[in-house]
Amino acid sequence: MKPLSTRVLAFVFGMFISITIMVPFLPIWGVKPYTNVTILEESWTVQGLTIRASFVKNGQCKLIDFSVISFADGIPSYVGYEDLDGLVDNYDRSAGKQSLNIIVPANPSKMDFLELRTRHQCILDKEGHTEVITKVFSRHETNQKNME
């Protein structure tokens, strides 16, 4: 067994290297385009999946893309959706409490699950550096028991 001083020195050196590598990525980990996502309704009907959700939008981020992706046997494919509030595709909501109200015309027997995904461009710091952040807004299983 190595002496305690050698182990402590190795630990301190390891921490220094870890922090040095991690610091450039801290702004990316800290920025969230939205928080407090709450699914208010998720119901499968013969028309498809109706999703109502609330969330808080970060004003430092601008929506680039909102998409619905279905997965069948591990293979993803884009699916269309209709905004029940009449908003245009990729509508960039203002900062603060917001809602989402969509229907996804999809057949649950042909997929395993759906994901709502977003891509935002977010301001990281006071100098105006930006980063594109892609996130899963929500995931919805296609359990046949949910069919009405």
pLDDT of residue 37 exceeding 70 = yes
Q: Is the pTM of this model over 0.95?
A: no
Please count the other Cβ atoms lying within 10 Å of the Cβ belonging to residue 147. Answer: 12
Per-position DSSP letters for 70-128, written without gaps between them: EEETTEEEEE--EETT-PPTT--PPSEEEEEEEEE---GGG-SEEEEEEEEEEE-STT-
pLDDT of residue 109 exceeding 50 = yes
Q: Please give the single-letter amino acid code of residue 90.
A: N
Q: What is the pLDDT of residues 40-91, one digit of tens each?
A: 999 988 888 999 999 999 989 999 999 999 999 889 999 999 999 999 998 9
Nearest to 107 by CA among 52, 53, 62, 45: 45
The answer to whether 101 and 85 have CB atoms below 8 angstroms apart is yes
54 Rama class: left (phi>0) / alpha (psi -120 to 50) / beta? beta
Instruction: Just give the CATH number of 31-146.
Output: 2.60.40
Domain residue ranges in the chain: 31-146
